[in-house]
Structure 1
Amino acid sequence: MTDEWTAGVVTDAGGDDPPTVEGWRPVSVPGRPAAFADADGPITYRTTVPDPRDEASERALLEIGGTDGPAEAWLNGSRLGASDVGFVPARLEFDPRLENELLVVCERPDSFAGIRGTDAVPDRFDTPGIRWGVAVESRPRTFLRAFEARPRLGPVSAGDASEGAASAANAALDGAGAAIDVTLEVDAGAAVDDAVTLSLRPEGFRGGAAMERVPVRAEAGERTTVSRTLTIREPSLWWPREYGPQDRYTVRAKLEGDTRERTVGLRRVERDGDGLLVNGRRVRARGFTRLPGGDPRADVDRAVDANATLLRARGHVPSPSFYEACDEAGLLVWQDLPACGADLPVERGIELATALAEAYGGHPSLAMYGVQDRPADPYAEPLGEGLLAKLAVRYRAWRASVDREPADEIAENLPDELPVVSVAGPPGTDPDAAHLFPGWRYLEAADIDWLLETYPSLGEVVGRFGAGSLATDEADPATIPGLEPSLLADGADAEDSQREQAQILKTVAETLRRRECGVLAASTLRDPAPGGGMGAHTADGEPKRAAEAIAQSYEPIQAVLDGPPTPGAVGITLCNDSHEAVETTVGWRAGEETAATTVDVDPLETASAGTARIPPDAERVDLEVAVGDRTVRNRYYL
C-alpha cells in the first residue's frame, strides 16, 4: 500500500457520513504528528489502499495496528468498522475497488490514557494516532480469521535454587507435562467439510514434534470455532536470560490454502515475599522501566547490554514486536495497564485488563501485570537533605491516602496465572511496588538504607528509582518532559548532571541488591524526548554515564560497596544472582592501597567480602571479581 498519508482535525463527526476535516497536512504513519499536538478533537488520517487480491474469489482484509483510544475506519465513503481497545489491532474485511480511499478517525481515550496523559512524556505522545501502521492482505475464500495458542504447564513445585541449573529443573518438570490449547475461528466463504491440520515444532532446540487433524464443517457464510489441546509429554521450558535457554514452540494451523502460526513458550511465574519464582525456581529480576517511543527491539538490546533481566512497560502497552524481542532475549516483562494517577474507572479497567491478557498472554516473557501507577504523589514538592527532611518524608507518607479498592477489583479480574501489582507508587500510597527517589526528590542517595529500614516492605518490589540528567549543554531543562529543573544542581551542565545521575542510580541499585530485593526497575531506560530526562540513554539511544554505571551494578555476580566511597573503611558485599554457589577472589584498589579476599557465596545470596580502606588522596575505588574466565569490575569515583 502507499506510504503517503495526510491528516486533519475533525470539525464535524458526520454521523452516517464520513467526518469533515478542515485542511489536510502530510504526515507519517505510524507516528504522532507534532502539528496536531494541541488539537482538541479527533484526528482523521487519510490514504489510499490497493486491492490486495490476485483473484476475485479471494477476500480483502485491512489491519489497523494499534491506536491510543477509540478508532473508526471509513472506506470509499462508507463506515467499515470501529475499535475501542487500541492495543488490539483491528482486522476488518472490505470489498475493494482498484484504489480505495481509507479514513481512520482516532480519538483520545476518555480514561486510561496512561503515561501518555502525564508530563513524563512529550505532549505529542497524547496526539491520537496510528501506532503500529496499517496493512492490507488477501485471504482465501475460506480462511482462519482468529487463531489463539495458549500454553499450559502442569503442576510445578518450588525447587531449591542450589540443586542445579535450568536443565535439572527441566528434567524435574517432564513428569508434570504441558499442553497448548488451540482455538481457531474459521470464516467459511464457501461450504467447508474438511479438517484443520495442526502441527507443533520446537524452535531453536531438539524436541518432539506433533501433528493432528481437527474436523471442520460449516455452511457458506458461517463462522465456526474449533478447539484442540496439543499435549507435550516432555516439555522444554522458557527461562529468563542467565537462568536457562529461551526454548519455544511454534504451532501452525493449515486449512485448505490458508496458514497461520503462533510461537509460544512454556513457563510458570509465581511471586512470594522474596520476589519471583520462574518454573519453580528463584530468579532475581533487575532492569528498567520503559516509556513509549523508539524502536522496541533496540531498547531490548540496550537492556540486555546493561545486564537487565526485566523491563517494565510503565503506563502503556507496547507493540507486539516488543514482546517478540523480549521472548527471544529472555527478558521478563512487567506489563502495566495504561493507568496513571487517581482516576480509575473499574468497568473500563476490567475490559482493558481482559483484552490485555488475551492479546499478550501467550508470550513467555510476560511475567507480571501492573494496574495503577502513582495514584498519589506525596512528594510532588521535593524535599532537601538531613534530619528535618527525614521527618518530612515520614510525615508526608503518614498523611497520604489512597483508595486501593478500584485497583484491587481490576486486579482480581486479571488471570491468576501471573503475579499482579495492584498499586505502584511512592511511600505512603500503600504500594505493592515502591517508587523510591532518594538523592533526587528527597534526601541523599545513601539514605536509601534509612528509607528501607524505616519502611521494610518498600524493598520487596521496586517499580522505579533513579534521577534525571541533561543530554546536551544546549538543552533547556524547563522544556524537557519528566525533568524538573529545580532538582538539577545549580548551574549543572550535561556532564555534571550525568555524573550525579550515575552516582544516584548506582547507589540505590546496589543497596537494593545488597538487601536482596527480588524485583527492581530503574527509571528509565531511555529519555522520551531530546535534551535529557530520567533515561540512562538519550532519546536517540546514545548511552549516558548512567548506562555504564548501571550495567556494572547489574552484573549477575558483582562486588559492591556497602556505603558511599569516602575516605576511611567501607565494607564490601559480594552479590550472587546466579543459581550456582560461587567461590572467588574479590580485590579492591583505592589510590595506592590494594587488597584481595577469598569469598564463598551461596546461590541467590550475598556475602561479606571484607573492607576497603580508602585513603584521603584516592580519586576512585576499583573492585574486581574473578568470575569464570573473566574479571568483573566495578568502579566508584570519589
Structure 2
Amino acid sequence: MRYALSLSLLFCAPLFAAPLAPPESWSLAGEWRAHDANDPDFVGWRGSDRAWRSLRVPANWYSAGWDHQGALWYRTEFSLPQRRDAGRLATLEFDGVDYFADVWLNGQKLARHEGYFQRFAVDITSALTRYNRLAVRVDSPFEDPQKNWPLRKNLMKGILNQHDSRPGGAWSPQGQDANSGGIWSPVRLRLSRDVAIDNVILRPDWSQGLTQPRLRVEFVYRAPAAKAATLDLTARPDNFSGKNYRLSQAVTLQPTGGETQRIVVTLPMPNAQLWWPKGYGKPNLYQVQVRLRDDRGTLDQRSSRTGLRQVVEQPQNKGWLLNGQRLFIRGTNYIGSPWLSTMNKARYGRDFDLVEAMNANAIRVHGHVANRALYQAADERGLLIWQDVPLQWGYNDTPAFADNAVRQTQEMVEQFGNSPAVVVWGGQNEPPFNSPWMGKRFPDWNKDLNRNLMQRVADTLAKDTSRIVHPFSAVEEHYWAGWYFGTLANLLEPAKTATITEFGAQALPRLATLRTFIPQSELWPATTQPGDPKWTRWKYHNFQPIQTFQNAKISRGENINTFIANTQRYQARLVAIAAESYRRQRFQPVTALFQFMFVEIWPSVNWGVVDYLRHPKPGYTALKRAYQPLLPSIEPKSLDWKVGQPGQINLWAINDLPVAHPGSQLRWRIAQGDRVLAQGEQALDIAADSGKKVVELPVTPSRQGALRVSVTITKAQRVLARNQMEFDVAP
C-alpha cells in the first residue's frame, strides 16, 4: 500500500521547507502486503508484491487471520515531498515486533532487532527518498522439540512461547500452535533536526523525603554531530489540577556515531502530589516533556507519563510500604491474551473493572511483558502490578543467551519502568534449577540449569532501586495443594513463604461458553480415564483430566451440567479456603498473594475465575468475598466434618485498610438447614491495618448435609462486611 504523507494537514508547512519546522510524527498503520518468508531463497525487499496478500499492521499475524509459523515478509510504500532541510533526521520507530525483525528501506538493510516487546528505532535518514519502499522480514521461529523446546528454549517470549494456558498446553507437540509473531504494535515515522530522542526514563528520588520529591530524568538520544542546545524539562499534572514544574539548562550533545548517548538531569518537585493505589488516595500522574532546542527552534521532543510513589519492602515479612503506608497485597495472575495486538486500553479497562470488583488490588503480569495500554490503564486507576520478565521455565544455558536476556531485561526496565503501577520486578518463573520435577520429564535436566541466567537477570532488575525486586518465582511460592498435590486441608496449614504467587484450581466455564470450542459430539467423553482419546480436544484446550479426576477427585455427575457445576463448586471452595487462610497469616509470614489465574486467555478450560468471554464463574464470587478489604474470616479447624463429632470454627476480623472501625459488632450463625447449631454476637474495636481472632466456636453437626456458616460485621446497624462458607458433613 502506498502512503502519501501530507504534513500540511499537521503543520500547514511543507516538509523540509521551513527552518523552524517542529519535530513531526505519523503512523504507518494500515493494510500492508505480506508473503511467506520461510523459503530462504525468496528475497522480499525487491520485486513486485502483486501476488502478496494483504495483512493488517499492527496485528499478530494469527489474530489477523494467518495461522503461520516462522517468517513473513512485510512491505509497504510511502511518499514524501522532495525537498529536505540540512540536519533533518528520519527515524522509523517500531513499538513491538515478534520476534526477529530485519528492516530494509529502498533496498538497503538498515537494522536487525531481537525481542517481541521492545520499542526500537531505526535511523533511515541516509536511505530516505521521495518515494520509499519499506520491507521488514519478521521471524517468530518454531523451536525444535527434538533439540531445544521446551527445556532449552532460545526465544525470550515467556508464556507466548510455552505455557499451560496456550493453545495445545505446555507440554504437548501442539504447544507452539497459534504463533504470536508479527508487527503487532504501532509503527511510526519521526522527523527531527540534528538530534533524535529515543527514550525518556523517569525515576523518583526520595533522598529529600516524601514531601520534597525529585524526579530523575534520563533521556537517550542520537546525534550525528556535536551540538550545543538548551534542555527544557516540564512536568505537568495529567489527571488532576496542580502545579507545573520546570527546568531549563544548557547541554552539549555528543556525536553518537549511530549508537546512543544519555543525559541525566534532576527536576525538584517540592510538595508534588503522590501516586496512590486505589483505596489509599488518588493515582496522581504527571506528563513529563523533554525538549531540546536551539536559537532556530525545537530540535526534538519526547513526552512520557509517570507518578511519584515510594515503594519499600520491609525486612522480616513486615510488609510493603507505599508512600509510608503498609499494604497487604490481594492479587491475581493476569494474561489478557496470547495475541497482544487484540488488547487495547478499553479491553484492559474492562478486565480491570472486574479485577477491582473482585476486591483485588494487584495483578501479576504473568510471564510476559504486555501491550503498553495495560500499564497506562493500571496507572490511571491505581492498580498495582507485579511485572515478570518473559522467562518461563527452561532456556538455553549458554553465556550468550544470558547476555541476550540481560539486554532485553534492561530494555524492559527502561521502557516500562516509568509506570508507577509497577511496584515489583519479578524474575524467571520456575527456573529449572528450582524445579526438580523437571528431572522426571527431561533426561538432560540438572540441578544448576539456568542458575546463572536467573542471577544475571535478577542483578539487572536490581539496578532499578525504585521498586521491589523478586529474583525468581519459586516453586515453593506456588501453593497448589488441592490441585497438583495434597488436599484442600493442606491450604489451612501455616505458609512457609512471605509471597504466594500462585494458588488455584481449574473449573469449566458455563455451558454456552464451553459449546463455542467443544463440539456436541465430544461434550461427554465415555470415561474419566485421562487416556481416553475423546479427551484429546479438551486437553488441547488446557483441561487437565488427571488433576480433575485423580487429584481433586471431582465427580462428573450425571451429565455435562452437573460436571460444570461440580468443577465450579470445587474451584470456588478452594480459592475461598486458600485466600482466607493466607489472609489470616498476614505478615506472619504472608505479605502478598496472587491467585492463579484471573481470566481464560483463549477458548479454553483453565484456572481462570472468569471465562474467555468475560463471564465470571462462581470462583470469582468466592474470591470477591475472600478478598474484601474488611473481612469477617471463617476458619475451620478441620475440613473433616462428621455427624455427631465435635469440631471448631474460629472467626476473625481482618482489616487491610488504613481506617479503623471502633464500636463494631461481629454476628454469626451456624446452621444445618433450619436447625441452628450456634449463633451470637460480640462487640469489637477493629484497628486499621489489623487482623485478629475474635471468637472460637465449638460445633457438633447433628446430621448429614451442608454445614453453613454466616457472619457479618456491623456498625450502628449498618453492615460493613459479610461472609459465608459451607462444609460437607459425612456420616
TM range (shorter): 0.7 to 0.9
1:608 and 2:697 are equivalent in the alignment: no
**CA gap 1:228/1:215 in 2 versus in 1, 3 angstroms:** same
- Residues 30 and 205 of structure 1, relative CA distance in 2, 3 Å threshold: same
* CA deviation after TM superposition for structure 1 residue 76, in Å: 4.1
After superposition, the Cα gap between the structure-2 partners of 1:51 and 1:634, relative to the gap in structure 1 and judged at 3 Å, is: farther
Cα drift, residue 91 of structure 1: 2.5
Partner of 2:232: 197
SS at 2:632 equivalent = strand
Rounded to whole Å, the distance in 2 between the matches of 1:619 and 1:96 is 78
Separation (CA, whole Å) in 2 of partners of 1:98 and 1:372:
45
Q: Tell me how far apart the structure 1 counterparts of residues 473 and 390 of structure 2 sit (CA, whole Å).
A: 13
Task: Name the stretch that deviates more: 360-369 or 413-422.
Answer: 413-422
Deviation at 1:101, TM superposition (A): 4.4
Q: Deviations over 1:458-504 (max 9, x none)?
A: 3x101110011112354466335543122222426323212211111
Alignment of 1:163-242 (within 5 A): 173-174=210-211, 177-185=212-220, 194-216=229-251, 226-242=263-279
Q: What percentage of residue pairs aligned between the two structures are identical?
A: 22
Offset at residue 543 of structure 1 (A): 1.3
Secondary structure of 2:669's partner?
A: strand
Q: Secondary structure at the match of 1:469?
A: coil
* 1:308-347 matches, cutoff 5 A: 308-343=360-395, 345-347=401-403
Letter in 2 for 1:270: V
Task: Tell me the equivalent position of 1:385.
Answer: none
Alignment partner of 2:712 out of 607, 612, 624: 624
The residue that corresponds to 2:529 in the other structure is: none
Question: 1 CA distance for matches of 2:508 and 2:101?
Answer: 37
Alignment of 1:421 with 2:458, yes or no, is no
Aligned residue type for 1:457: K
Q: CA deviation at 1:93?
A: 4.0
Contact 1:142-1:186 at 8 Å conserved across structures: no
What is the rounded CA distance, in whole Å, between the counterparts of 1:126 and 1:55 in structure 2? 45
Offset of residue 98 of structure 1: 4.7
Q: Which residue of 1 aligns with 2:200?
A: 148
2:567 matched to which residue of 1? 497
Other structure's SS at 2:37 match: strand
Question: For residue 70 of structure 1, what is the aligned residue in structure 2?
Answer: 100
One-letter amino acid of the counterpart of residue 263, structure 1: R
Partner residue of 2:335? 291
Match of 2:528 in 1: none
**Partner residue of 2:505 out of 467, 486, 490:** 467
Check if 1:444 corresponds to 2:487.
yes
CA distance in structure 2 between the partners assigned to 1:194 and 1:155 by the alignment: 29
State the 1:220 CA deviation: 10
* Per-residue CA distance 1:148-172 (angstroms, 9 max, x = gap): 142223248xxxxxxxxxxxxxxx7
Q: Does 2:186 match 1:113?
A: no
1:368 paired with 2:424, answer yes
1:479 equivalent in alignment to 2:543: no
In the other structure, the counterpart of 1:395 is: none
Matches within 5 A, 1:556-635: 556-563=629-636, 569-583=648-662, 584-591=664-671, 592=674, 593=676, 594-611=679-696, 616=703, 620-626=708-714, 631-635=720-724
Deviations 1:216-253 (A, max 9, x none): 56699988754421112223322222222212222123
Which position in structure 1 is the counterpart of 2:148?
none
Identify if the C-alpha distance between structure 1 residues 99 and 622 changes in structure 2 by more than 3 Å, giving closer, same or farther: farther
Task: Quote how far apart the aligned CAs of 1:577 are.
Answer: 0.8
Look up the equivalent residue of 1:136 and give its one-letter code.
R
Distance 1:317 1:219 in 2: 33
Distance 2:626 2:177 in 1: 32
Compared CA separation, residues 221 and 505, structure 1 to 2 (3 A): closer
Check whether the contact 1:368–1:419 (CA below 8 A) recurs between aligned residues: yes
Q: How does 1:8-47 map to 2 (within 5 A)?
A: 8-13=35-40, 18=45, 24=52, 26-28=54-56, 29-33=58-62, 39=69, 42-47=70-75
CA separation of 1:531 and 1:362: change in aligned 2, threshold 3 A:
closer
Q: Given residue 710 of structure 2, which amino acid in structure 1 is its aligned partner?
A: D
Question: Structure 2 vs 1, CA of residues 402 and 194 (structure 1 numbering), >3 Å: closer, same or farther?
Answer: closer
Q: 1:106 to 1:578 in 2, by over 3 A?
A: same
C-alpha distance 147-119 of structure 1, shift in aligned 2 (>3 A): closer
Q: Which residue identity lines up with residue 689 of structure 2 in the other structure? A: L
For 2:41 and 2:349, locate their aligned partners in 1 and report how far apart those are by CA, in whole Å: 40
User: Which whole-Å deviations, capped at 9, do the CAs of 1:318-372 have from their partners, x for residues lacking one?
Assistant: 1221111111121221111111113354323322222221112222111112212
Shift of 1:379: 6.2
Contact 1:149 1:180 in 2 (8 A): no
1:181–1:230 CA contact under 8 A, matched in 2: yes
Give distance in 2, aligned partners of 1:627 and 1:49.
68
> Is 1:7–1:24's contact at 8 Å kept on the other side of the alignment?
yes
Partner of 1:539: 612
The C-alpha deviation readout for 1:66-101, integer Å capped at 9, x for no partner, is 234322223344323222233211222442545644
Equivalence for 2:325: 281
TM-score, structure 1 normalization: 0.82
RMSD value, Cα: 3.6
Q: Secondary structure at the match of 1:539?
A: coil
Tell me by how many angstroms 1:264 deviates.
Answer: 1.3
The answer for the alignment partner of 1:408 in structure 2 is: 455
Cα distance per residue 1:564-592 (max 9 Å; x no partner): 78685411111111123333222233445
Shift of 1:127: 1.7
Q: Which amino acid aligns with 2:666?
A: V
Contact kept in structure 1, 2:201 and 2:415, CA below 8 Å: no
2:302 to 250, 260, 273: 260
In structure 2, relative to structure 1, the CA distance for the partners of 1:152 and 1:512 (3 Å cut) is same
- Could you tell me which amino acid in structure 1 is paired with residue 469 of structure 2? V
Report the counterpart of residue 136 of structure 1 in structure 2. 188
CA–CA separation in structure 2 for the residues paired with 1:219 and 1:280: 41
- 2-structure distance, mates of 1:297, 1:45: 34
- Deviates further, 188-197 or 341-350: 188-197
**2: distance between equivalents of 1:31 and 1:588?**
53
1:48 correspondence with 2:83:
no
CA–CA separation in structure 2 for the residues paired with 1:112 and 1:327: 26
Q: Is the 8 A contact 1:153 1:267 kept in 2?
A: no
SS in 2 for 1:562: strand
Q: State the distance in 2 between where 1:480 and 1:561 align.
A: 38
For the residue of structure 1 that corresponds to 2:368, the secondary structure is coil
Residue number in structure 2 paired with 1:81: 111
Deviation at 1:55, TM superposition (A): 7.6
User: What SS is found at the alignment partner of 2:407?
Assistant: helix
CA contact (8 A) 2:439 2:446 kept: no
- The normalised TM-score by structure 2 is 0.72
User: In structure 2, do the counterparts of structure 1 residues 457 and 22 end up closer, same or farther at CA, with 3 Å as the change threshold?
Assistant: farther
